[in-house]
Structure 1
Amino acid sequence: MKVRKIAFSLALFLGLASPISFANGVQQINSSFILSNYAKTKYPIVFNHGMFGFSRLGISSFGIDYFYQVLPDLARNGATVFATQVSPLESTEVRGEQLLQQVEDVLAITGATKVNLIGHSHGGPTTRYIEIVAPEKVASLTGVAGTYKGAKFTDDILNNTAAKLALTVFGQYILAPIETILEGNPNLPNNLDRSLRSISEKGSAEFNAKYPSTAIPNDCGNGQKITANGVYHYSWTGTAQFTNALDVVDTAISQLGPLSYGNTDNDGLVGRCSSHLGQVIRDNYNQTHLDEINHILGLKDLFAPDPVSLYRQHANRLKLEGL
């Protein structure tokens, strides 16, 4: 209770404490005008955030989306699109069950029989959980820097008592509660240990052994695009740790990968090969882990591809596949 009061006070101090009311945590994004039907897929597109993620922080007139500017752009281009809220810090199974309820809400709201799921980071395995327990409700899965084979920096934190304690105090008891308050869903549970174990290389290997999929390649190549259950699979990621001098938060976060991997074959948090699922659209964009969701506030390398356009193009890809 004290933690929640402290978090709420900090939220008020930030001027973003007005909660947003969503039905079971799902948010539909609508547009007052339609530019085209370029992104108009057969099935709704449902987005799921990663670790320390959120749907939207703040009220409609003053706030920020996790997939910054992405969903409104898709809506303007004809897509039926939703953002989901799951625990910022929890196991894949707990997050997956939360997401499953929201997928069922989307199906009820739209009358559709399936959804196209897109997950970033831990959102990748979280959306895969839906395919595991309810494949009949999934048309496609797309992972953006998904932690399908884990992220080594989490193994390193789990093996470092001081680092884990510091992250627990700040992440589990301060940052995550603030996020859930600001997105209007303060009752979401948070557990750093379960979160770290789920996206660790060890935990991911155990999850994949328990729930195997031909969409996850054994090597660093492509997995099976269309699995036996008829679900389509896609993925992409970046391999940059620095893209914009003004983006100091992103740059600081993006040094965890190199510290753990000892190389640059990652987006600052997730290794390139770990992100592979099904058809790998591209695995070396000049993007950091936050650039992939157009953060912070759209700052990126001047010559890097626009993240918003990548999602728009992918929606068109799904459309052309009849999804």
Structure 2
Amino acid sequence: MYKTKKIAHSISLLGLVACIGFTTSSVTAGVLSVNTTAQSTYAKTKYPLLFTHGMFGFSRVGVAEFGLDYWYQILPDLARNGATTFAAQISPLESTEVRGEQLLQQVEEVMAITGKPKVNLIGHSHGGPTIRYVEAVKPQYVASLTGVGATFRGSKVADDLLSSQTGSQLLSIATDYIIGPLITFAEGNPSLKSDLKASLTSISEKGSQVFNQKYPTTALASDCSKSGASSNNGIYYYSWTGTSQVTNVIDVADSAISLLAPISYISTDNDGLVARCSTHFGKVIRDNYDWNHLDEVNQVLGLRGLFSPDPVDVYRQHANRLKLQGL
């Protein structure tokens, strides 16, 4: 039975990477900026917004006119409402430290482009710990951190995959030499390397505990029944997550990964990949949206539950929250 669970994890994850990996085209390497005519100032924050993807993520595959953004429809909407927005282009699979160093360079690039001394960082999934790394090494660059379905305390899915030697080896071959390079080629930056084992180790519960001990933060409480600090030294902390699994049967890629966490946790108190507890960070905006892990970034192509909130609206409202906070 235990071995069967491991095989199910591997097959489901392979299904996800297959759906993402074989979309091709190219964009210029570096941060992806969104330029459009602003129609309002509702989301016009003081500092630019820099979005950071999770595992198997990308900024955009294809071109603006015909392509797929990881943060589907979210950045253009923010730009139309006055925000200055960028999507980071970092390794789809790597350790938090490696991804963090890549992100740090892009933070400095955004600061140079905009002339602003700080940025608001938003990270999904593994993007959460990744933005935390930037704050840990260069806190003067950061106005706020926002985690979305973030693996701040890790995901047991990663621990289970790592414990299955056969499954992890199969995934590593597929991802490190085929899927990862296809993703980075498709977004126009093939120099970015992939390391599935390093990525899984970083987002595992054990690896996350090591990271949090090395880079402590007041935004993470001692346990999930308590609240972390909402700010520290002028840096503000926010988070939210979903707690649904299969939300739209038409969304095949979405459904393929949404049962991984329930298998690992033997519960449904998660978004299909990450437990609710793991995502709590700073001021928790909400921790029970009717979304699964990909719905949180409006993927795939905006498919979600019929009566669930529109993620685009939630990000727009959050930008206004940052604006009102003077960020």
TM-score range normalised by the length of the shorter chain: over 0.9
TM-score, with normalisation over the residues of structure 2?
A: 0.92
Q: Which residue number in structure 2 is paired with residue 91 of structure 1?
A: 95
**1: distance between equivalents of 2:280 and 2:175?**
28
Per-residue deviation, 1:15: 7.2
* Aligned mate of 1:20, from 27, 30, 38: 27
* CA displacement, residues 130-150 of structure 1 (integer Å, 9 cap, x when unaligned): 100000000000000110000
CA contact (8 A) 1:16 1:59 kept: no
* Counterpart check, 1:132 vs 2:132: no
CA contact (8 A) 1:119 1:146 kept: yes
**What percentage of aligned pairs have identical amino acids?**
62
Where do residues 145-294 of structure 1 align in structure 2 (5 Å cutoff)? 145-220=149-224, 221-227=226-232, 229-294=233-298
* CA displacement, residues 102-133 of structure 1 (integer Å, 9 cap, x when unaligned): 00000011000100000000000000011000
* Aligned mate of 1:313, from 299, 306, 317: 317
Q: Which residue number in structure 2 is paired with residue 30 of structure 1?
A: 35
TM-score, with normalisation over the residues of structure 1?
A: 0.93
**2: distance between equivalents of 1:200 and 1:264?**
19
Q: Which residue number in structure 2 is paired with residue 297 of structure 1?
A: 301
Aligned residues between the structures? 308
CA contact (8 A) 2:27 2:187 kept: yes
- C-alpha change, 1:137 and 1:302, in structure 2 (3 Å) is same
Q: Which runs of 5+ in 2 are unaligned?
A: 1-17
- C-alpha change, 1:198 and 1:80, in structure 2 (3 Å) is same
Per-residue deviation, 1:262: 0.5
* CA displacement, residues 32-80 of structure 1 (integer Å, 9 cap, x when unaligned): x222100000000000000110000012221100000000000000000
Displaced runs of 4 or more, over 6 A: none
* CA displacement, residues 174-219 of structure 1 (integer Å, 9 cap, x when unaligned): 1111100000000101111110100000000000011111101112
**2: distance between equivalents of 1:43 and 1:249?**
34
**1: distance between equivalents of 2:253 and 2:88?**
24
User: What SS does the aligned partner of 2:231 have?
Assistant: coil
Moved more, 216-225 or 98-107: 216-225
Q: Which residue number in structure 2 is paired with residue 100 of structure 1?
A: 104
User: What SS does the aligned partner of 1:82 have?
Assistant: strand
Aligned amino acid, residue 36 of structure 1 = S
